[in-house]
Structures are given as structure tokens and as C-alpha cells.
Structure 1
Amino acid sequence: MKDDTPYLLDDDAIQQFIVEGYLQLQSDQPRDFHARMYEELEPLDETGPRGHNNLLPCVPELQNMLDEPKVVGALTSLLGPNYYLHFHRHDHVNYPDGAQALHKDGDNHSHNAMDGLRRYHPTRFVMLLYYPQDTPVEMGPTGIVPRSQYVTRRDVDRLRKKSERIKSEIYQSYRSKLDAEAFRGTNRFQRYAEMEADFKEMHPDLVEDINAASAPWEEAKIPLSGDAGTISIVHFDIVHGRYTANVTGKQRHMVKFLFARNEEPTAPTWNHRSKAWQGSEDDPQCPIWKNVWSWHLGTSDNTTSQRDVNELSEVLGSRDDAIALGASYELGSKADGLSLLFEHFFSEDLDLRAIAAYGIVRAAEQALPELLSRLETADTDVQVRILDLIGDIGLHASSAVASVTPFATSTDVPLRRTAIEAIGLLTQQQSPLDDAVIETLTNALKDEDAIVVRNATFAIAKLGSKACTDEIIDRLRNNLYHWHHHVRGWGIEALQRLDDPRAMKLAIRYLSSTRWDPSAKSGDRALTEQPMKESRQLVSS
């Protein structure tokens, strides 16, 4: 059996990723491979359907890059051995144009962004970015802000959301002036360009405020430049965007793949030698980094802040997001600090309660008694936020499964969504699964809400053979034709992870029938006595 240990990351690399939020590799594929990938990407549609989520069927050779031992080793180190190549992928093309605003993916629709701000800190998703061409700064590479993956951007987000409401109103005004057919006939990119121009003309003060709030982030960004074959792996929530305009006159391709962790960590999955934290001790985010390091190790965070709760309480109110978050984690390490965090979490101050939530998750099982005592009697919105925290605590909250499960049948849609997602995280060490959990997941596969169905399917994929029943297989099969692509995508993966011959046959049959042939036509070349060979010119990269 081949030993892949040399391709796993070491402690230093894992800690560097935890701190900086990214790492870079160089593909071992030859340059002609990358030139071929560039050529095959050129005619595709950035937003699909020929391309986008159908990127791999259109350019299947890209899988060879994803299967390189060093890539597999890095992803295994960060996400565990059973990570999943998510069905969403995107070839971001940088035409000769301007830079892209910095953002976090899913800013507007992340189902993990409770209160519009709070995302999960543990490494449950990463993005892999691949360049098929040499990408110097002049070509407008992707830019990232190191150390931004755990940090909220409260001031930027507040202004951005205000601007988006206004832009939506402007956009709808365009729609109201045209009938539906005429509106569809206009150029989408031109409509957005006109909307941006009108917004800037009508709201110059807001534009100035956004630019001022964004300036520190813009100043901190760095380019992910590199030769053809450069691979960057970044935390899903890192702040990123196009670094500069592309001034080369040639299209730049950056292929983005999304990878998901399947199991919560119970032990290191890299070349591990020492549990000691070797990184910075004086950065305000250090308490976050140490906590994520403990999470990767599969252990509890036993650090305790040496600072006084009164001092930390004052720091918690800082408008510097990194400082406030660090204080929240420190408060979560102290019993009297946890009480203060609960006070803020159950307040009406959205900014402060989102920050306080992180410290409560850091407290892990110490926070469960208070969370569970509030869960039964709280308003629905608060119940959703409590379930979100319990799910994020993960394996350390496994004792709460019986309390969480009834909410999966609530009449409230957000409650069902959040409860099902939490069940998939809390029950991973439960074997066999309780009958109530199996019944809950089975019923959720027929929920009227697509996100509930998606979350149930994702949970089943995580639980694998433990969740395998004939009824679950049948419902997963039926959902392969669900209208929502998330349900279909996770459904294929869940069937393959049930460790059941019938489930595997159903997955393969579906994949065979939906296979995408990128060729426009085939079989139409006249046969001659000469060997039939590929004939095409590679685009120089």
C-alpha cells in the first residue's frame, strides 16, 4: 500500500493555515497540461450551464489536478480523510477590466451566517483556487486579506447591506419601466453597470462611507499570484476579491472548487508531532487560533484567560472586530465571563450578540446547561440562534441530541433547518443512531422546504452507513430529481456514503444518465487508413 504520509501537512503548516487562512502549492502536472486546461476553459460560460457547476463534466481532466497526492494530502490534513468535493465550482474569468470588491462568499445567502454576521469558525469548508496560466499581478490575480477568515466586518457589512437595499430598489425601478420580455432582452451586465452608476450618482455620501470603511481591508490584501499550476487553498470565510485590473489583454482563468469536511475531528489527520501552539501569543486573535487548533486536534480547549472579566467586558465593546472577537473567546474560558456573554447573547444588540455567540461556542459543554434551559421557553428567533450555537459546538454538545431533535418537526421553517443541521453534527459519534434520529432524518427528506431537505441529506452523508435504511435510500433516490441543485448534489454523495450496494448502483445509474459530453458533435469524422488522432492547437499560456 502506498504511503501518503509525506504528502500530509505538518504542525507548522496547519498552524499557519489556522492563522493566515491560506496556503499555496504548485501542481506537479506539466505545463502542457495547464495549457490544455486553459484552452478547454476558454469557450465555456462563466455562469453556466456549459461551465460553472458543470465545469468538471466539461473539462474532466481537471480531476487529475485535484487527485495529485500533494493536493489530496493538504485537503486530508485540513478536512479529514473523507472530505467531499462540493458540487459548486466556478471558473472566475478576469477580463481586461477593474478589480472586484472584497467580500466573503455567501455574504448574502450563507445559511451559517446567523444574524447576518455569525459564521462558523472551525475548518468545515475550504476553497481551492487553481490557475491554468501564469498569473502575475498585471493579470489581476485573486487577492485575499490574510487573517480575515474569523473576523466579522460589522461596519462594512452594515453599509453594504444598506447599499444593497438601495441598489435593489433602483434595479426594480428598471424592471417596472419595461415589460417582462423587454427586460429579459436587455444585457444583464449592462443593467448592473447602469445600476452601479445611478447608485454612485444618487448616494455619493454612502459611497464615500463604504470606501472609508473598506480602506483598511483594501490596504491589507495581498495577491495570490503565481505560475501556471499554482494552487491556493483558503478558508471558506476569508475576505477576498480580484486584486487588480487585468491589464495584459488576455483572459485570466481562476478555477474555484469548494471542499467540505465530512466528519468532525477526533484526532489529527496530518503529520502531527506536538500539541504545543507555536504561533503568535500577542495578537488579539490568538485565543481564536488556539481554540481552532484544539478543535483540529479533536481535544477540548483548556486555556484560561488571565485577564479580568471587567477588562474583557470593556474590550468586548470595541469596534475593532478582531479585538472584540478575541475578548469573546477569552470570556468564554471563564465561568463569570460566560455569564456576561449570555447576557449579551440574549440582548437586542445584534452586533454584540453575534460577537458574544463565538465565546459561548468556545465554552463548549460548559455552555450547554444555560442554552438548553432557555431553549424550551424562548421565542422562536432565539431558539434558532440557540440551536445554531449547539450545532456549532459539535461533538462536545452530543448530549443535547434528545433536546434538539423535536425542533426538527417544528412548524417554523428556520427552526427545522437549524435543528436538522445540528443533528448532523451532534450525532457523528452515536452508534447505532437512535430510532428518533433516523425517523427525523427520514421525514426531513420529504419536507416542503428545500433547505431542510438539503440539510437532512448533508447530515445523512456525514453519518454514512449508520443512517442507512431502505426508506432513506428510496427517498434519496427520489430526490435525485429534486428541483434544488443542493438536494441533488448532496443526494448523490449521500447514496455513495451509505456503504450499501443498492444505494451505490442508484448513484452510478443517475450519474451515467446525466453524464455531460462537452463535445459539440462526435463520430462525424471520416475514417481513413491513417490513425485517427487528436488535432488542435494549444493556446500559449
Structure 2
Amino acid sequence: MNQSPLLLNDEQMRKFITEGFLILKTDFPESFHHALTAELNKVYDAEGNPGNNLLPRIREIQQVFDSPVITGALTSVLGPNYMLHAHRHGHYNAQPVAGGWHKDSYWGYSRMRNHHPWWAMIMYFPQNTPLELGPTSVLPGTQNYESRTFVSDEVAGEAFANGEAGTFALIHYDIWHRSTPNVLGNARFMLKFEFMRTAAPAAPTWDNQATAWSEPSDLALPIANHETLWEETWNWLSGSVGSIANSRSEDANKLNELARELEDQFEPTALNAAYELARYGSKGVAALLAGLHHQSADVSRVSAYGLSAAGEEAVNGLIAALEHDREETVYHAIFALGELGQFAEAALPALTSLLSHPSATIRTAVADALGMIKSTSAAGVDGLITCLADKDAQVRFTAGLSLSKLGSTAAAAIPALEAALDDEDRYVRAHALEALRYIGTEEAKDLLIKSLFNARWCTTTTSADTF
């Protein structure tokens, strides 16, 4: 019997927003984890890493992701209709040296990374994992940085996902992380699963008691603090887009200072300036639009984050920026419009016109934005149908994810999704299945069931046991 999700509390959400991760633990008995680890060893020894087939190959893992601790954590951060993404991986670490700090890509592709938690990962440790066994580590508070912002690999403040069997790290998808040395040499498994939000928040989905943002009680980050960014994220998770706009009185000296700080080479300083400018109404938006058009792509990108938090007042300037002749400026403007959601519905004609742009990066960004704007008009769905036939795989699989966000309003895309089920790319096929599931009409369900039956895979058939 499924149990109700154990939702995060306010303090846990504050920690997630500021630090970018939480270390939690499921409550399965030790015997469950012992059996799961034994099965992992058996599969890896005999067959190798099952990759994206990890979940059907070892069916007990689904019990983990149905547990109320994990469903509650994911519901709290991503909303109740979150998606378990088709990419998953079982990491095996027996190396006595640390891995390199990195952010994960999107299945081999790059995209502008969301500060709002549209994506999250769970890293699950099925065996007891002391520090000596090489758990994954994260650098708290770095989920919002494109650059490393630190020089040495050995940086103070590193946090470890060590603990008893059943420990898991819930992390913001874009946090900097690495593997640590396994000095014991015993098998160490970490099961990595990705999850996606399918709708912008309309209200808090955690056990929310406090309305206003406040910092966690024991905040101590190794790089920098970001009070306005955190407050804006808390408000966005509470269902309020553009909540910080027009919350500061005009101060010419401060505005000029913040505009200069957009160019700071230390990314945390520039980010703080961008989000603070979003508070200053039309004058702040003007400074951010100037930053969007800056010759430095880094300044342009940081300014886009501020514009994504500046509310409806930023929309007209962002639409105008879609006609810029520099690809980075257009790309960053599309991102900000997507984050502004339904405020940006007026941008749909200009966005869909970019689906003939020669850059696949631009077309992919448009496909992403069309799902986030979630228009009630047919223009968004028609645009995504076009994307499903694009020559670039990333455009096609992003379209499937966006159609999942549109749900039943995207029923017109069903024939195009049926064709996508035969696509050569595994994620185009997977995202088409997800889109059919979230559209949810009888026609969509029939196609979904037929495709899944045709692709049925016996979880116990191996080369050593064929029938």
C-alpha cells in the first residue's frame, strides 16, 4: 500500500534553496539493502552496467522511489506531478582517488541552467557508505554558478553523502559535485536518478508554515551568500512569479553601482547584482536589458537571470531582444521569457518565428520556453509539433518534455508524438512516451500502452537464462 509522502518542512526547504542539497534516509530494513546490493553486484559482474535499464532490470529499486521519504522530498521540491526522467545510471566507484568537480550535462547536451528548481537528482546509496568508501560529495551553494568559482580541487566546505544503507542525496540538478576516494576498495554503488518538474508552482507543495523567506539557522556557505536570489526562489516555489519586482525605491547611485557589478568577474557578485536590480522596477529592468546586450556573453547570461525575476515589466524588452543579431543575446532572452511563464504569452509569435533559426541552440531554447510559458493558445502546441520534426535531436527531445508540461491541452500533438515513437534517438522516444502519458486522453493512452507492450522487456531474461 502506498503511503502518503513525507513532505519537507520549512527549514529543510530553506536548506535546499541555499545549499542546493539535502541528505536524507529511507526507512527500509537492513535486509532490503543487503539484498539490493547483492543483486547489483550480481548484475554488474555478469552483465555490466545496465545504464538506463537499471530500473526494470532490478525491480526492487522502484520500491525505493515509491517510499514516502523520497516521494515527499520530490513533491516538496518539484511539485506533485514530477517526472522520473528516462536517463538513470548506476555509478560504481572503486577508485582510490577523487573524481573531478563537475556539473552533469543533459544527456550529452548543454542548456542554460535554471536557478529555479525545475530539475533535481537523487543519488541513492544502497550499502553502508562511510567516508572511506568514497561517497559523492557536493559543494554547498554552487548550484547557481556556471563557473567553478574556486581554483583548487581541495576546497573547504565540501559536504559528503555518507551514511548508513538507504542514505540519499536530494540535489539541485546543477550543483557542483564529484566522487571521493574509495580507500577501502570494496564495491560502492550510487544509483543516480533524475526528476523534472512538469508545472511551475501555484502554491507551496511542502509542509509550509511560514510565508516570508528567512535564512536557515546554521547557514555557512563556502563561496557566497545570495539573499535576494534565495528569497525570489522561495517566493517562486510558493507560486509567485516576479515577486521581488518593484520592491526597492529608486536610488541612482545604487543602480549605477549594481550595473557596474554585473560586469564583475566573480560570478557570485554579478549574480547578486542581477537579482538586486530586478527589485528596482523599470530602472532596474533597463540596466538589466543593457546587460543582456553587453558584449560579454557572461554579463548577458547573468543579466538574463535578473530579467527572469523582474516580472512582467521585463517582457517587452526581452521580446525586442529576440531580433538581436548575436546568438547569445537571443538565447538568453528566450531563457528569461520562459522563466517568466504566462507573463510572457505575448512573446509567442516572436518565439515561434525563431523555430526556423539556423542555430539548433536557439530552436532548442524556444522548445523549452514554449512548455514553460504554457499558453492557452494553439501557437505553443503548433510550435512544438514543428519541433518534433526538427533535424536536431535535442530540439526534438526538448519538445517532448515541453509537451509533457502542457498536458491535455497538447492533444493536437498526438499524431506527431506517435511518429516520434520511432525516432532514432532514445530520449526523443522516451520523451514522446512521457508526453502521451501527461496528455492523458484515451487516444494518447492507447498509443502509450501499445508502444510499451511492443517494447516489453523481461527483467529476468539474461544470456545465461534465456527462457
Both structures adopt the same fold (TM-score exceeding 0.5) = yes
Aligned with 1:222 (options 141, 155, 159):
159
CA 1:49–1:348 in structure 2 vs 1: closer, same or farther (change >3 Å)?
A: farther
Verify: 1:479 aligned to 2:426, yes or no. no
Matching residue's letter, 1:330: E
Kindly indicate whether residue 253 of structure 2 is the aligned counterpart of residue 320 of structure 1.
no
Pairing partner for 1:275 from 197, 200, 211: 211
Aligned counterparts of 1:424 and 1:132: Cα–Cα separation in 2: 35
What one-letter code is carried by the residue in structure 2 that aligns with 1:477?
A: E
Q: Answer whether contact 1:96 1:251 (CA < 8 A) is retained.
A: no
> 1:87-119: CA deviations, max 9, x gaps?
111111111431111111119955323xxxxx2
Q: CA deviation at 1:284?
A: 3.6
1:153 is aligned to 147
| Cα distance in 2, alignment partners of residues 412 and 249 from structure 1 | 47
CA distance in 2 between counterparts of 1:12 and 1:43 reads: 40
Deviations 1:167-211 (A, max 9, x none): xxxxxxxxxxxxxxxxxxxxxxxxxxxxxxxxxxxxxxxxxxxxx
Match in the other structure for 1:331? 277
Which of 290, 301, 321 is the aligned partner of 2:243?
A: 301
Q: Report whether the alignment pairs 1:371 with 2:308.
A: no
Q: Equivalents in 2 of 1:321, 1:62: separation in Å?
A: 39
514-523 or 346-355, larger mean C-alpha shift: 514-523
**2:147 & 2:168 partners in 1: Cα distance?**
27
For the structure 1 residues 425 and 362, does the alpha-carbon distance in structure 2 shift closer, same or farther, using more than 3 Å as the test? same
Aligned pairs for 1:377-456 (under 5 A) are: 378-427=325-374, 430=375, 433-456=376-399
Q: Residue 359 of structure 1: CA displacement?
A: 1.4
Contact 2:124–2:192 (CA<8 Å) still a contact in 1? yes
1:144 aligns with 2:138: yes
| Residues 408 and 438, structure 2, Cα contact 8 Å, conserved in 1 | yes
Give the structure 2 partner of residue 191 of structure 1: none
The answer on whether the counterparts of 1:132 and 1:229 sit within 8 Å (CA) in structure 2 is: yes
Which residue is 1:33 aligned to?
Answer: 32
Q: Which residue of 2 aligns with 1:128?
A: 122
Amino acid at match of 2:122: L
Q: Which runs of 5+ in 2 are unaligned?
A: none
| Matched residue SS, 2:174 | coil
Q: Does 1:458 align with 2:401?
A: yes
Letter in 1 for 2:405: K
**Whose radius of gyration is greater, 1 or 2?**
1
Q: Structure 2: which amino acid aligns with 1:242?
A: S
Identity of aligned residues (%): 32
Higher relative CO (Cα under 8 Å, sequence separation at least 6) belongs to 1
Q: Is the 8 A contact 1:364 1:397 kept in 2?
A: no
Judge conservation of contact 1:96–1:248 (CA < 8 Å) in 2.
no
Name 1:186's counterpart in structure 2: none
Deviations along 1:244-272, one digit per CA (max 9) or x if unpaired, are x1111211001000000011111111222
Cα distance between partner residues in 2 of 1:108 and 1:509? 26
Asked if structure 1 preserves the Cα contact closer than 8 Å seen for 2:96 and 2:185, the reply is no
**Residue identity matched to 1:460:** L
The 3 A distance-change label for structure 1 pair 377 and 302 is closer
- Asked if 1:355 is matched to 2:302, the reply is yes
* Amino acid corresponding to residue 519 of structure 1 in structure 2: T
Q: What aligned pairs does 1:461-540 form with structure 2 within 5 A after superposition?
A: 461-469=404-412, 472-516=413-457, 517-520=459-462, 521-522=464-465
In the superposition, the TM-score normalised over structure 1's length comes to: 0.78
TM-score by length of 2: 0.90
Give SS of 1:231's match.
strand
1:130 and 1:69 map into 2 onto residues whose CA distance is: 15
CA RMSD of aligned residues (A): 2.6
Q: Does 1:310 align with 2:256?
A: yes
1:396 is displaced (CA, Å) by: 3.0
CA contact (8 A) 1:8 1:270 kept: yes
Counterpart in 2 of 1:164? none
String of CA shifts for 1:14-58, please: whole Å, max 9, x gaps: 122101111122112111111111112124459x98511111111
Secondary structure of 2:205's match?
coil
1:215-269: per-residue Cα shift (whole Å, max 9, x none)? 4x632312110100112100001110013x1111211001000000011111111
Structure 1, unmatched stretches of 5+, are: 114-118, 157-212, 525-541
Are the structure 2 counterparts of residues 49 and 400 from structure 1 closer, same or farther at C-alpha, using a change threshold of 3 Å? farther
